[in-house]
Amino acid sequence: MSGNTHQCREFGFLIVSIIIIIIIIINRHNQVANTVTQELAMKCELSKEPPMSYYKYDPQSVLQNATYNM
């Protein structure tokens, strides 16, 4: 019995570890996406906002002007 309990506990820790890693990866992806979106918006003149830190930048759902839609 104690062997099964130990295996279940290890499996539970493994699942929690995987979930934490996925959350970290998603957060990093969102940070990079915000940086890329902000840079593209500035280069295409879709945004008049001054550059800001990736963790403060909250892009609009749709950015557009006469030339570009993003």
Q: Are 65 and 52 in contact (CB under 8 A)?
A: no
Give the span between the Cα atoms of 18 and 61, in whole angstroms: 30
The pTM score is 0.68
Q: Is residue 3 scored above 70 in pLDDT?
A: no
| pLDDT tens, position by position, 11-59 | 788 899 999 999 999 999 999 998 998 999 889 988 888 888 877 888 7
- The 3-state DSSP class for residue 64 equals strand
Closest Cα to residue 63, out of 31, 45, 32?
45
Residue 46 · residue 70 · CB < 8 Å: yes
